[in-house]
């Protein structure tokens, strides 16, 4: 029991739900983790961790061993319910809320007076209120938080939004250390949400309304997307001028108020490449800068493929090796990865125009090629040494092990280094 919470039901045991469940359990609140995937549930109950994240396997093993963390395919009653399911987009970049709705449906029968429901999934503005309305319909015997309710009118079930902010690779540290924004549908839900997060967060927990918290999360990721787009635009400008973009950025960043990010092959992952669309799809004409940044970053993979094709055209190139498939350095996550997109386009183009060229891929963080690539017959997964024998090298992800490759190993080859590994 901590801060009045004896138990928590975490719906969704993915990249956010599982580390959060482990940290909540470690703080002394018993957690039931729920996932529709029985393989994940089975693994966790055996004390094994289904995702690659430094330190997480130990915490999962310890918490399962102590009986503080258990997994199941459906919820049970609890004090706090946290929804941490994906919010992808469907056609036309419209957010797909079906997972959030399904999660709300799954917890509804188990809710009781005094419960707190927190949506951690990244959602468009207004959706936390929508969740409260969905729950109200499913449970007419209970009252739920309402926007505009005063402090004195406490609902039976309090509903809030607390967007996650953790960075893959340092999740355990950030889960505890980062400041959190807790937005209540009503003031009482924000206050109760604050109590829940203070049970395991050392950072400051800042309280607001649910709409502000929703837009705050989207604004953080759109901010980073816009800044990366600026770096990517500079990379394109530098290419035309024949200037080394890495040197340019290093020099510009010596200005005390300039901090330009790094260009790359595009922006991936399930957050920055997705969340800005939640603003654009709601209010496109007002979000012109955010929309343009998305276009700039989404266009990067194709321009990398064009560069590879141009640089290898008319040369005696029999093999091209792509280094990395993950969406960024030192993670095993391939979601929305520009590297996967690049290998896919490149394989298709080579198949049509230069079928004799072998396309090699090296990715130490995954055992097998993802399904998008596994079906393409010309793509082969190899190790670093074999990849380094290729005639052309395309550096797509700056994993630590790739950074350790000396520039001399690729000398004399055609090199397209999208991460500046051999320049920085």
Residues near ligand SAJ (CB under 6 A): 122, 164-168, 220-221, 224, 228, 261-262, 264, 267-269, 271-272, 327-328
CA distances from 327 to 14, 272, 338, 365, 415 (A): 16, 11, 6, 11, 20
Residue 271 is among the residues annotated as catalytic for this protein: yes
3-state secondary structure of 157: strand
Closest distance to ligand SAJ from the beta carbon of 327 (Å): 5
The catalytic residue among 30, 217, 322, 328 is 217
> Is 163 or 187 the residue whose CB approaches ligand SAJ more closely?
163
What count of other Cβ atoms lies within 10 Å of the Cβ of residue 383?
10
Sheet of 30-34: strand order equals: 69-72, 30-34, 7-11, 80-83, 116-119, 158-161, 180-184, 205-209
d(CA 336, CA 5) in angstroms, rounded, equals 36
Q: Is there a catalytic annotation at residue 8? A: no
The one catalytic residue in 271, 371, 381, 400 is: 271
Shortest Å distance, C-beta 328 to ligand SAJ: 4
Of 4 and 14, nearer to ligand SAJ (C-beta) is 14
What the block records as the tokens of 33 is 């983790």
Residue number with CB closer to ligand SAJ (331 or 387):
331
Identity of the residue, 30 or 419, whose beta carbon is nearer to ligand SAJ in the bound complex: 419
* Cβ distance to ligand SAJ smaller for residue 154 or 176: 176
d(CA 91, CA 127) in angstroms, rounded, equals: 19
Which residues have a Cβ under 8 Å from the Cβ of 71 and sit 6 or more positions away? 13, 32, 33, 34, 35, 40, 41, 44, 45
Nearest-approach distance from CB 175 to ligand SAJ, in angstroms: 10
Nearest distance from C-beta of residue 47 to ligand SAJ, angstroms: 26
CB of 362 to ligand SAJ, least distance (A): 17
Catalytic machinery residues: 217, 271
């Amino acid at each position: 029991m901590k801060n009045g919470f004896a138990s928590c039901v975490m719906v969704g045991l993915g990249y956010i739900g599982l580390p959060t469940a482990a940290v909540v359990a470690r703080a002394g609140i018993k957690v039931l983790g729920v996932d529709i995937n029985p393989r994940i549930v089975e693994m966790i109950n055996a004390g094994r961790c289904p995702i690659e994240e430094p330190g997480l396997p130990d915490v999962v093993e310890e918490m399962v061993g102590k009986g503080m963390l258990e997994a199941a395919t459906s919820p049970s009653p609890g004090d706090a319910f946290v929804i941490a399911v994906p919010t992808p987009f469907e056609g036309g970049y419209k957010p797909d809320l079906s997972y959030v709705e399904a999660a709300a449906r799954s917890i509804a029968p188990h809710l009781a007076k005094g419960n707190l429901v927190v949506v951690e999934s990244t959602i468009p503005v207004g959706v936390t209120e929508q969740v409260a309305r969905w729950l109200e319909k499913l449970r007419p015997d209970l009252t739920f938080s309402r926007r505009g309710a005063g402090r004195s009118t406490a609902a039976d079930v309090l509903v809030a939004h607390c967007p996650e902010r953790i960075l893959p690779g340092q999740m355990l540290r950030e889960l505890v250390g980062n400041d959190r924004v807790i937005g209540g549908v009503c003031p009482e839900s924000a206050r109760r949400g604050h109590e829940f997060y203070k049970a395991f967060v050392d950072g400051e927990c800042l309280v607001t309304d649910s709409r502000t918290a929703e837009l705050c999360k989207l604004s953080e990721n759109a901010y980073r997307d816009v800044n990366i787009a600026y770096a990517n635009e500079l990379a394109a400008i530098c290419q035309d001028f024949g200037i080394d973009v890495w040197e340019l950025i290093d020099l510009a960043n010596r200005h005390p108020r300039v901090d330009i990010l790094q260009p790359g092959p595009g922006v991936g992952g399930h957050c920055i490449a997705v969340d800005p669309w939640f603003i654009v799809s709601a209010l496109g004409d007002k979000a012109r800068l955010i929309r343009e940044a998305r276009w700039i970053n989404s266009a990067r993979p194709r321009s990398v493929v064009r560069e590879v094709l141009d640089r290898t055209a008319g040369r005696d190139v029999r093999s091209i090796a792509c280094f990395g498939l993950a969406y960024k350095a030192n993670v095993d996550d391939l979601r929305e990865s520009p590297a996967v997109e690049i290998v896919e386009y490149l394989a298709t183009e080579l198949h049509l125009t230069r079928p004799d060229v072998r396309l090699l891929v090296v990715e130490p963080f995954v055992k097998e090629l993802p399904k998008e690539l596994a079906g393409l017959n010309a793509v082969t997964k190899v190790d670093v040494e074999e990849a380094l024998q290729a005639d052309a090298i395309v550096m797509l992800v700056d994993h630590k092990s790739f950074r350790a490759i000396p520039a001399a190993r690729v000398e004399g080859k055609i090199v397209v280094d999208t991460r500046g590994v051999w320049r920085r």
